[in-house]
Structure 1
Amino acid sequence: MTVRGRAVLIAGPTASGKSALALAMAQELDGVIINADAMQIYDTLQVVTARPSNEEMAQAEHRLYGTVPAAVRFSTGQWLTAVSEVMAGIDPARPLIFTGGTGLYFDALLNGFADVPEISPAVTLEVQQEIQALDGAQRLALLEREDPVAAARLKVADPQRLTRAIAVKRATGRMLSAYQDEIAASLLADCLQIDRIVLDPDRDVLRQRIAQRFDAMFSGGAVDEVKALLALELDPALPVMKAIGVREIGDWLYGKLGRDEAIKLATIATQQYAKRQRTWFRNRFGDWPRRGLAGAEQS
């Protein structure tokens, strides 16, 4: 693996100023900005997903923004592969600046990732229906038959984790625990300096920024993007179709909502998402230095 000088990881909730900080650092350090946001990877939705504008992308080198077709279901494993390919073409002396709101991407980047094959939604649904009528003990007994190692690791019969383990075994013929024991090494294992930052602005300030941003999105190209996306007639279960704003703007286009109601609902959904992001980052990245909007470090 190539030894690299420096990597900067900028995480944080939506609308916290990650892209602006990344751009400023890239210009100062001659760095390359690499997208670490699961929605900004897709094409079609630049405004809706708050991807950097064309003008911003022209001011520094940006990679993995809008590079995946909307019809593709892009996994964390595929993102890591794409990052590895990007890194191979960048001078090791140039800092890599990863920025985004997808915590799992950062976790996989630093700690490695078990690349489990994509499981058919039909298989997952079949397992979900099968365990509905089972109590906790019966669910664990079923899992013990399918994947005894995963069953031993579960302290409680969590339906989501149990469903995942059984679905993987039935779809691939291998136990989920076998994939988890084959975690690939961190892509940054040979990086000499890794700087970690979580942007964590005041809650009320963030809520206000979210409200202002989505109102601006609605009149700044988001409607045309959603029109273009809906014209593709994609599977509603695809990740891109679940981007916040797609359903709300779509309902407005179909006359199910008024403009103000669509903006209100999308704003509320974004604020709820930001809350979940903050909780995730605090639980998983509690030791990362934190900054507010102004960039000052917080305790």
Structure 2
Amino acid sequence: MASDSPRSTTPIVAIVGPTAAGKTSLSLDLAERLGGEIVNTDAMQLYRGMDIGTAKLPVAERRGIPHHLLDLLTVRDPATVAEFQGWARRVIADLRDEGKPPVLVGGSALYTRAVLDRFEFPGTDPALRATWEAELAVRGAADLHARLAERDAEAAARIQPDNGRRIVRALEVIELTGRPFSATLPQLEYVEPATVQIGVRIDRELLEQRIQQRVEEMFDAGLVDEVRRLLDDGLAEGRTASRAIGYQQVIAHLAGDLTLDEARERTVIATRQFARRQLAWWKNDPRITWVEHDAPDRVDQALAVVAAVM
């Protein structure tokens, strides 16, 4: 029999969907209606100063709703899914103890799944990690990605060929555990039963137009100057932050490797590719209830789903 404690009866709500689909406004609407608070699940919004390029909502536009897990790190700090899982679950537990529904929102699908689902992280072996990092330095990410594909095709399909850090981690886990890295990814089983996921659905052509517009607005709003300031703070040395879409391209522009127009266009292309990867994460999750991005009653649709688990 379920307990009637605040934690057991307070729902956890996650808003998912591709970047630029309209997740932020829906999350604010739901938090207002539920008396909840926002929990960020975007890996790059963890970083102080990375505001324009991550579409971080300005304080003045947060409707007075508390936001958690923003601006925790400097751009030099690495971010790991395991650390984030711990931070987010503590925040969520505290909010639920107070009877306040946490509303998770952000573009990092793996971060969201790591918080919501049963997901235990394998240990690490510093010597083994160092060996693979040395291989990465000598052979490059593409070579290691090909080797990962031979050992775990599913993991290789999920990891970008230029993401050396995740490739190294996957190879380390395979060697450490004797199992595919993909076997350690989240299972479709919520840690807390009172959990719902609301997906924001949008036509692909319209989404691509909105991505184009968002990128243009970011550059117009001063993304280049933001990156220039962050480089002074050590952005180029940050293993995680320096790889953020938009920031990576502007760094190349400031180094003289890309024109401004090339940096802008490559940011658009990379963002569209990212949106497709986001959708690939969620398309096979039957637990998500999808609402149209422009449905007049989308908030009521979402609230009906939430009510079913309360």
- Same fold by TM (over 0.5)? yes
Tell me the number of residue pairs that the alignment of Structure 1 and Structure 2 aligns: 276
Q: Which amino acid aligns with 1:13?
A: P
Q: CA deviation at 1:263?
A: 1.4
- Residues 116 and 179 in structure 1, CA contact (< 8 A), matched pair in contact too: no
Q: CA deviation at 1:84?
A: 2.4
Q: After superposition, what is the alpha-carbon deviation per residue over 1:27-69, rounded to whole angstroms, capped at 9, x for unaligned?
A: 1221111011111122220111111112123521110012122
1:14-163 superposed matches below 5 A: 14-57=19-62, 59-92=64-97, 93-117=99-123, 122-126=130-134
1:245-284 superposed matches below 5 A: 245-283=246-284
1:94 to 1:230, Cα distance in 2 relative to 1, 3 A: same
- Residues 32 and 65 in structure 2, CA contact (< 8 A), matched pair in contact too: yes
Q: After superposition, what is the alpha-carbon deviation per residue over 1:209-242, rounded to whole angstroms, capped at 9, x for unaligned?
A: 1111111111213222211221133455611101
Q: CA deviation at 1:90?
A: 2.1
1:95 to 1:257, Cα distance in 2 relative to 1, 3 A: same
Q: After superposition, what is the alpha-carbon deviation per residue over 1:86-122, rounded to whole angstroms, capped at 9, x for unaligned?
A: 1343253211101112221222223222223466664
Paired with 1:77 and 1:201, the residues of 2 have a C-alpha distance of 31
- Residues 236 and 242 in structure 1, CA contact (< 8 A), matched pair in contact too: no
Q: After superposition, what is the alpha-carbon deviation per residue over 1:100-145, rounded to whole angstroms, capped at 9, x for unaligned?
A: 122212222232222234666642245676xx79x99xx77xxxxx
Paired with 2:269 and 2:26, the residues of 1 have a C-alpha distance of 25
Say which one has the larger Rg.
1
Paired with 2:191 and 2:134, the residues of 1 have a C-alpha distance of 39
1:122 to 1:82, Cα distance in 2 relative to 1, 3 A: same
- Residues 4 and 190 in structure 1, CA contact (< 8 A), matched pair in contact too: no
- Residues 35 and 64 in structure 1, CA contact (< 8 A), matched pair in contact too: yes
Q: Which amino acid aligns with 1:20?
A: S
State the match for 1:175 in structure 2: 177
1:165 to 1:18, Cα distance in 2 relative to 1, 3 A: closer
1:252 to 1:34, Cα distance in 2 relative to 1, 3 A: same
Q: Which amino acid aligns with 1:123?
A: T
Q: After superposition, what is the alpha-carbon deviation per residue over 1:127-169, rounded to whole angstroms, capped at 9, x for unaligned?
A: 676xx79x99xx77xxxxxxxxxxxxx6899798997565247
Q: Which amino acid aligns with 1:231?
A: D
- Residues 78 and 238 in structure 2, CA contact (< 8 A), matched pair in contact too: no
TM (norm. structure 1) is 0.77
Q: CA RMSD in A?
A: 3.8
Paired with 1:49 and 1:158, the residues of 2 have a C-alpha distance of 26
State the match for 1:143 in structure 2: none
Q: Classify the secondary structure of the residue corresponding to 2:73.
A: coil
How much identity, in percent, do the aligned residues show? 29
Q: Classify the secondary structure of the residue corresponding to 2:43.
A: coil
Unaligned runs of 5+ in 1: 141-153
- Residues 13 and 101 in structure 1, CA contact (< 8 A), matched pair in contact too: yes
Q: CA deviation at 1:258?
A: 3.2
1:31 to 1:176, Cα distance in 2 relative to 1, 3 A: farther
Matched, 1:210 2:211: yes
Q: Which amino acid aligns with 1:220?
A: A
Matched, 1:293 2:293: yes
Q: CA deviation at 1:204?
A: 0.9
Q: Classify the secondary structure of the residue corresponding to 1:8.
A: strand
Moved more, 106-115 or 178-187: 178-187
Please identify which structure carries the higher helix content. 2
Q: After superposition, what is the alpha-carbon deviation per residue over 1:158-213, rounded to whole angstroms, capped at 9, x for unaligned?
A: 7989975652477xxx5265999999999964454x22111121011111111111
Paired with 1:203 and 1:157, the residues of 2 have a C-alpha distance of 26
State the match for 1:145 in structure 2: none
Unaligned runs of 5+ in 2: 160-165, 302-310
